[in-house]
Amino acid sequence: MSPIVFFLFGLFVLAGFARAQEGRTPTPTPTPEPAAAEPIMAEPEFQGYRRVPAEGTKTPTPTATPVRNPRLVAAIESEQGLDFERVALFDDGRLVLIQRYRGRGIPRYKQLAPSEVDVVRRVVREALVVPSSGGAPSERSVADQQGRRLRLEVAREDGSVWMFASEDMAQMPLPVGRAQGAMEDLRSRFFRTDPKETAWDPSGVKAGDLLLHRIYAVWYRVVRDDMFEPSLELEEISNIGARMLIARGQLPSLFESPALAPPTPTPGNR
């Protein structure tokens, strides 16, 4: 076959192939499938009720009211041997007496009117003109080796405390004596007996009852009544367990009325 015939044959084959390609529909390129989405973990179930505020409203946050601690107005301490006592007055009218009884501090409380607090504050602050002794114990006189030691405390306007130490037989400046007398008068309020407080009927007291001592604020339990004996036997509720014998008719003068006494002690606050 001559080259010319071979060349023409090749052109004819190429033309036929081109026509075949024009009639065919192009095959689209396959689109890759998207990756499978990970499952969403469900929130844990809420136990109880949940309050959902309405949209557009904010729950107001309450403002905490600051707690004001009472400030000292004046105090007087007395100490003699193992006995200790402190009377303190605070600006909210609270009057506190603490007595050390057998190694324990026993507090008692009373409430004063604001007008009474103002009067006491004016009297005791007269002592501020006297130089403070700083609470240091003074030398005892020969005749007063076993006497009481006293310490007077007066609060200044800025909250600092002025102190003056003395003893029973020692001389003291007049303003200090007036301030000490005012605090001693407040102390005496804890020991005044009101006829109404001592008029309660003790006939219903029986074995097992709890009675609060009027002066020492100590609880006693009646362990034996006077059915076969002339006196009742009382035992102090403490580790010491002191006992006393007392006639039924003497109970109102020494013990608070069970109807007016504070809550009886529990094993946690004895």
32-63 pLDDT, tens digit per residue, is: 666 666 666 555 555 555 565 555 556 667 67
Q: What is the pLDDT of residue 181?
A: 93
Q: What is the pLDDT of residue 164?
A: 93
On whether both 156 and 233 belong to a single domain, the answer is no
- Whether 3 maps to a domain, the answer reads no
Chosen domain end from 155, 188, 221: 188
User: Cβ atoms within 10 A of the Cβ of 98, count?
Assistant: 16
- Whether 15 maps to a domain, the answer reads no
**Tens of pLDDT along the chain (270 residues)?**
566 766 666 666 666 666 655 555 556 666 666 666 666 655 555 555 556 555 555 666 767 666 678 899 999 999 887 788 999 999 999 999 988 866 677 788 888 899 999 999 999 999 999 988 765 545 444 445 567 789 999 999 998 999 999 887 778 899 999 999 999 999 988 877 677 778 889 988 999 999 988 777 778 999 998 888 788 999 988 766 788 899 999 999 889 888 766 666 654 444
CATH code of the domain covering residue 87: 3.30.1560.10
Phi-psi region of 219 (alpha: psi -120 to 50; beta: other; left: phi over 0): beta
Q: Name the H helices within 189-258.
A: 251-254
On whether both 165 and 250 belong to a single domain, the answer is no
On whether both 168 and 234 belong to a single domain, the answer is no
On whether both 176 and 83 belong to a single domain, the answer is yes
Residue (of 75, 96, 85) closest to 152 by Cα position: 75
Chosen domain end from 158, 188, 218: 188
Instruction: Tell me how far apart the alpha carbons of residues 212 and 236 are, in angstroms, rounded to a whole number.
Output: 10
Number of domains observed in the structure of the chain: 2
107 Cβ contact list (under 8 Å, min separation 6): 96, 97, 98, 217
Residue (of 84, 83, 90, 82) closest to 109 by Cα position: 90
> Token pair for residue 193?
């007996």
Instruction: Tell me how far apart the alpha carbons of residues 262 and 255 are, in angstroms, rounded to a whole number.
Output: 12
Furthest C-alpha separation in the chain: 162
On whether both 122 and 164 belong to a single domain, the answer is yes
Q: What is the pLDDT of residue 179?
A: 94
- Whether 129 maps to a domain, the answer reads yes
- Whether 37 maps to a domain, the answer reads no
- Whether 26 maps to a domain, the answer reads no
Domain of residue 81 covers 72-138+147-188
> Token pair for residue 119?
């009067």
On whether both 172 and 200 belong to a single domain, the answer is no
On whether both 110 and 167 belong to a single domain, the answer is yes
Q: What is the pLDDT of residue 227?
A: 81
